[in-house]
Amino acid sequence: MTRRLLVIGHDYLETAGSIEGRFAERGYAIESVRVVPADRIDDPGVDFDFPDPREYDAVLVLGARWSSYSDTVASWVKPETELLRSADEAGVPVFGICFGGQMLAQAHGGSVAASPVPEIGPSVVAGVPAVAGVWTQWHSDRFTPPHDATVVGANGAAPQAFVLRRNLAVQFHPEVDADNVQGWLDDGGVEDARSRGFDPDVVIEHVRSLDADIPARAAALVDYFLDEVATS
């Protein structure tokens, strides 16, 4: 039987890119939901009925432009937190990216807070082979992993990846390429980057230099999740 992957997106600019592509190559049928529609970006406190994670073989949780602890998104962060806990209790593997990784931390006893060192653009991560290397980042929050998690990636700015049972959380964006980041820049990211001391022109050119390697590196990360984390 075909395995099913639930992809949870939070706003219209988030895409699963090469990560989703590798799941498809590994035999997963992709089913996607989007929490906040484009016309509610400025008022994201929507009510959303999440699917039952127990009906899927894995869950992929993508990034978002909001903080997981913000009251403006509490209406759907709370039920999404319950989804993550239900998946964990049922042994359904969950892969969380950036906001998704922060949600995993928050759901399982860790925490999320504003980072004193925001990361925008590529940065180096040390860790297990599938995690180590240069990854594109865009976050001003960071997670503190749950006490019983194993940190498998980090740098000087923040913990970058952890494993907890069948959950993998990463702080970086393995799924995006330069076109995705350009979309972020065009949607207010230029001002955000500059306000945090980053040159958007330098950021996009640095990201573009990584594009050729993204599919292979994303595939290796998905393989690590499926072959090592999801089977633990």
Residues 33, 56: Cα–Cα separation, whole Å = 13
**What pLDDT sits at residue 125?**
98
11-15, 24-28, 44-48, 212-216: segment of lowest average pLDDT: 11-15
Choose the catalytic residue: 10, 108, 139, 173. Answer: 173
Give the pLDDT band of residue 45 (cuts 50, 70, 90): very high
Question: Helix, strand, or coil here: 90?
Answer: helix
SS3 content of the chain, % helix, strand, coil (to 5): 40, 30, 35
Choose the catalytic residue: 98, 108, 119, 139. Answer: 98
Check if 228 is active-site: no
pLDDT higher than threshold 80 for residue 1: no
**What pLDDT sits at residue 13?**
82
Choose the catalytic residue: 14, 80, 119, 175. Answer: 175
| pLDDT per position as a tens digit, 167-226 | 999 999 999 999 999 999 999 999 999 999 999 999 999 999 999 999 999 999 999 999
140 near 196, Cβ under 8 Å? yes
- To the nearest whole number, what is the mean pLDDT of the chain? 96
Check if 206 is active-site: no
Q: What's the CATH code of the domain at 181? A: 3.40.50.880
**What pLDDT sits at residue 219?**
98
Q: Which residues form the domain of 174?
A: 3-229
- The CA-atom distances, in angstroms, between 25 and each of 53, 54, 118, 166, 223 are 21, 22, 34, 21, 11
Check if 175 is active-site: yes
Two tokens, residue 124: 């180096």
pLDDT higher than threshold 90 for residue 14: no
Provide the domain count of the chain: 1
Residues 155, 127: Cα–Cα separation, whole Å = 9
